[in-house]
Structure 1
């Protein structure tokens, strides 16, 4: 009788385990803000809404933009650690306040082109991943750029020197330090508040990518754009480690490969969006993805290019290194061994 009971129990356990494995996964995904632009609308959201098709993993996915979920975009890493969402589309500059190493992917003056950005970001991503695993119970799956961050102003400017005395919306502390060195005041502000703040004169200028500016209607409240790339606004995808460890080895391979493919796709799309948005914002053709405006595009002087290039060593690296080393002794050392060598620092 005991043997029979044990046999029934074993069979039942096996059937339950098999049924559990056969059941589709349930994943909650926290995405980019709904109004942040074409990357979220055309690449990210379709990927997660057709998750099984893209990954080969049977799953029921609930995708929510971070602003629709009512969660501050600065809380992305805390959300991952809590397990409230399984996968989070991290907004790099915003979450870097909780994990400074993320800023090491995109210091002012470090990624002045898409090509340079790919190399520098790849060189430091493994270190950032190790920090997320250690501190936030999260694994970094992919990294991508919103695009070159350039300067939009209400009034006409001729170059970086004209920012002196102005209030400039910035995306992170690295940018705030840079504009501060130019005599401007860097102001952190959620993307959704910028257009109205420009319109009312609360701020004089603001930094973002041209596609995001177009999507957010910034050209309605600005007159001039200075197209000098300060950084690439790096974002990424990360998964809660408990969720990751619950996947089979095959599912992990499929998910990692699919996110890598999505991230790579966004790199190319981001570059195409940048070029198109620059034409749209200036009222030029073809304008395929955005709204046509009539901003004045200021020619970039070599003097300003030199200022941005010098900012890595003179402004952004020293300040960031002191912040990052305070939470991780090897933060700057690893950066210098990887990215720093590529930049000749």
Structure 2
């Protein structure tokens, strides 16, 4: 009788043991587009290629950059929820139409510096994580920035308001509202479409980070850059909860620590790349990581800085809150509780 009870208990224990605890399993990872540049190439890609070895977890990682798959960046949350990939390097602005709460991390004017961006992610990141777990069966494993997003144009400008009447590439509805407020014509385009669109005159200007623009060759098809940061281009790593639940508690802790180390590294590297690319794009030294070009750097005026700073309360927050509250009734109240005091609400 005792032997039967022990056997039954052992069978139950085996049935509830996470699969990843004892078996090598393929981990399908969808990364950033390779064209976005050095963060993907020097940090993200090596991290996943060496993940099994660096953590000791029984993983076989299959890493694919987004631009090799035919999947659009706006589809990433749906792709992750479906289980097609176990981990996705989420482009937050691009997927925010599926979950507007995400955009609360990076409203135009909210994160003028890396320090401000880090404070924002710590304060509002848990709210976004809870929402993604609820709606998309996705847990956040880390949040990181590409860095301040600045303006590139293929015609002379002297200040931000000179974009009046010009077609400007944007990547989310919040940025579109701010560009529209100064008379620009916002044109939503994926990153991979921008170089050709600038070359053909489909758009006159476009916004992205200096290093991403450098890697994608935007200075080849533009003449002026206004280094005024609109957003920080916050991104994050999401894991499908079904995949996550196959890890035991110890393995989950190991993986979380690995992603924490990675994202800390990216925050520092992103700032180094930003400063280097700012110099490289306008032909200055030292130029260590990026290609050297000869764009004209447009001086940032006090009026430009004030316009973007004031956009949080005047444009970007109210525009976003109205949209977000329609799908998530607690969206704007959660944001105000986490960040409202910092911006003067």
TM-score, normalised via structure 1 length: 0.95
1:103 matched to 2:103: yes
1:43 aligns with 2:43: yes
- Distance across 2 between alignment mates of 1:261 and 1:21: 22
Hey, what's the Cα distance between the residues in 2 that align with 1:211 and 1:19?
A: 41
Q: What CA distance in whole angstroms lies between the structure 2 residues aligned with 1:19 and 1:336?
A: 41
Cα contact 2:18–2:246 (8 A) shared by 1? no
Distance 1:241 1:303, change over 3 A: same
SS at match of 1:112: coil
Aligned twin of 1:123: 123
Query: In the superposition, relative to structure 1, how do residues 15 and 311 fare at CA in structure 2: closer, same or farther (>3 Å)?
Result: closer
* Superposition misfits of 4+ residues, deviation over 3 angstroms: 2-21
Tell me by how many angstroms 1:53 deviates. 2.8
Q: What is the Cα deviation at residue 20 of structure 1?
A: 6.9
Q: Distance in 1 between matches of 2:13 and 2:268?
A: 46
Q: Does 1:272 align with 2:267?
A: no
Secondary structure in 2 matching 1:203: coil
| TM-score, normalised with respect to structure 2 | 0.95
What residue is the counterpart of 2:248 in the other structure? 248
Query: 1:15: how far off?
Result: 8.1
Q: 1:177 to 1:14 in 2, by over 3 A?
A: closer
**Unmatched runs of 5 consecutive residues or more in structure 2:** none
Decide whether aligned partners of structure 1 residues 245 and 297 sit closer, same or farther in structure 2, where only a CA change above 3 A counts.
same
Q: Secondary structure at the match of 1:116?
A: helix
Looking at structure 1, the residues matched to 265 and 285 of structure 2 have their Cα atoms a distance apart, in angstroms, of 24
Counterpart check, 1:144 vs 2:144? yes
Question: What's the RMSD between the two structures over aligned residues?
Answer: 2.0
Cα distance in 1, alignment partners of residues 18 and 237 from structure 2: 30
Partner of 1:57: 57
Instruction: Give the structure 2 partner of residue 333 of structure 1.
Output: 333
> Would the aligned equivalents of 1:32 and 1:40 in 2 still touch at CA under 8 Å?
yes
Matched residue of 1:60: which SS? Answer: strand
Residues 76, 90 of structure 2: 8 Å contact kept: yes
Task: Sort the Cα spacing of 1:299 and 1:240 in 2 relative to 1 into closer, same or farther, 3 A.
Answer: same
* Per-residue deviation, 1:9: 8.9
Q: Tell me: CA distance 1:197–1:21, structure 2 relative to 1, closer, same or farther (3 Å).
A: same
Flag structure 1 segments of 5+ consecutive residues without an equivalent.
Answer: none
Aligned partner of 2:283 in structure 1 is: 283
> For 1:21 and 1:277, how far apart are their aligned partners in 2?
43
Q: Secondary structure at the match of 2:133?
A: helix
Instruction: Find the residue that maps to 1:158 and give its secondary structure.
Output: coil
Distance 1:335 1:6 in 2: 53
Displacement of 1:282 in angstroms is 0.6
Deviation at 1:69, TM superposition (A): 1.4
Task: Please state how far the C-alpha of 1:12 moved relative to its aligned partner.
Answer: 8.5
CA contact (8 A) 1:90 1:238 kept: yes
Residue matched to 2:303: 303
CA shift digits 1:110-161 (9 cap, x unpaired): 0011011111121100000010011000101111001100000001100111
Q: How does 1:1-16 map to 2 (within 5 A)?
A: none
User: Are the counterparts in 2 of residues 120 and 342 from structure 1 also a CA contact under 8 Å?
Assistant: no
Alpha-carbon distance in structure 2 between the residues aligned to 1:276 and 1:40? 17
Q: Distance in 1 between matches of 2:2 and 2:117?
A: 65
Task: Please name the residue that 1:259 is paired with.
Answer: 259
**C-alpha contact (below 8 Å) 2:111/2:231 kept by paired residues:** yes
- Could you tell me which residue of structure 2 aligns to residue 28 of structure 1? 28
Q: Which residue of 1 aligns with 2:196?
A: 196
Aligned to 1:324: 324
CA distance in 2, matches of 1:35, 1:337: 37
